[in-house]
Amino acid sequence: SKKKNMAFSCGVKFSRALLFFLNLIFLIFGIVLLGFGIFIKTDKDFKTILTTLFKTTDVEGSAIRSLAYIMIIVGVITVIIAGFGFMGALWKNRCFLYMYAVILAILIIAELVGFILAFWYKGKLEEVYNNDLLEVFNKAYTKNETDTQKAIESIEERFKCCGISGPNDYTKLNLTVPSACFICGGPQTCTGCASKIIDFLKDKLPIFGGILGGFLLIEIFGVVSAISLGVAISHSPDRYSS
């Protein structure tokens, strides 16, 4: 009937509009990630700042470059996904729409698996993080890296902590416990900075979870919109124009 066709037409137009909007978000997100990744990789001043913060060329090389490459790769993938979505919606091309839906579905599954694994192995991740920090700490004081020592002291002042695992990190190296450790009431009552930083990150988990949840929701809407539009087009490929 005419009313049924009008309702169907409105549904198709709504799906296309929603898909355009979602892919605009993907496109902006991808371009920002891509641009920031390239900026991290190429800007000398930014690399110097990060190197100063992390203090070791090993950390700068493995972590910062990895971060830049990951951001560039994710940015490119996101832009490509947005391209599939735009082309599918604009040209009402079922092939692009279904490819878009499949890629998004794979990403959703990968993100969920990554989240589950991170939660499952969170104890191991905390242990690795603690060991890495301790390695940086020991290197800073055995090789007298003053910039790193200042960074560690600023962390101790910021988080009211002492050492990485505790004040014993200093005594094991036959060092005097620094004045920063007395901010939290003295070396005997101070906890290590690794646990303090981990607790700080845990406090921010609701924010990270909200961002991840929002992004997953957008992706799910993208999958549903692409499939519904593809199905609608397959039922009436020539009837509805933009």
Question: Does residue 119 form part of some domain?
Answer: no
Between 215 and 188, residue with greater pLDDT: 215
95-152: pLDDT as tens digits: 889 999 999 999 889 888 878 887 787 777 778 778 888 888 898 899 988 878 888 8
Q: What is the pLDDT of residue 105?
A: 92
Question: Does residue 116 form part of some domain?
Answer: no
How many domains is the chain partitioned into structurally?
Answer: 2
Question: Does residue 66 form part of some domain?
Answer: yes
Q: What is the pLDDT of residue 136?
A: 85
Share of the chain above pLDDT 90, in %: 6
Per-residue confidence band for 43, with pLDDT thresholds at 50, 70 and 90: low
| CATH number, domain containing residue 176 | 1.10.1450.10
Question: Which residue's structure tokens are 């910039």?
Answer: 147
Q: Are residues 21 and 75 in the same domain?
A: yes
Question: Does residue 115 form part of some domain?
Answer: no
14-23: pLDDT as tens digits: 778 888 888 8
Residue 13 makes CB contacts below 8 A (sequence gap 6+) with 240
44 C-beta neighbours (distance < 10 Å), count: 7
Share of the chain above pLDDT 70, in %: 79
Cα–Cα dist 228/119, whole Å: 33
Q: Are residues 7 and 66 in the same domain?
A: yes
Cα–Cα dist 242/237, whole Å: 12
Answer yes or no: are the C-beta atoms of 173 and 146 closer than 8 Å: no
* Its pTM surpasses 0.85: no
Answer yes or no: are the C-beta atoms of 232 and 14 closer than 8 Å: no
Q: Exposure of 59 by Cβ count < 10 A (0-12 exposed, 13-18 middle, 19+ buried)?
A: middle
Q: What is the pLDDT of residue 161?
A: 87
User: What is the token pair recorded at 95?
Assistant: 């092939």
Q: What is the pLDDT of residue 6?
A: 63
Q: Average of pLDDT values for 11-30? A: 84
183-199: pLDDT as tens digits: 666 656 678 888 888 88
Q: Are residues 21 and 66 in the same domain?
A: yes
Cα–Cα dist 40/46, whole Å: 6
Between 77 and 45, residue with greater pLDDT: 77
Q: What domain range includes position 32?
A: 2-108+215-235
Per-residue confidence band for 59, with pLDDT thresholds at 50, 70 and 90: very low
Report CA 6 to chain centroid distance, whole Å: 43
Question: Does residue 123 form part of some domain?
Answer: no
Cα–Cα dist 175/142, whole Å: 10
Average pLDDT score over the chain: 79
Question: Does residue 94 form part of some domain?
Answer: yes
- Reduced to 3 states (helix: H, G, I; strand: E, B; else coil), residue 44 is helix
Beta strands in the chain (DSSP E): none
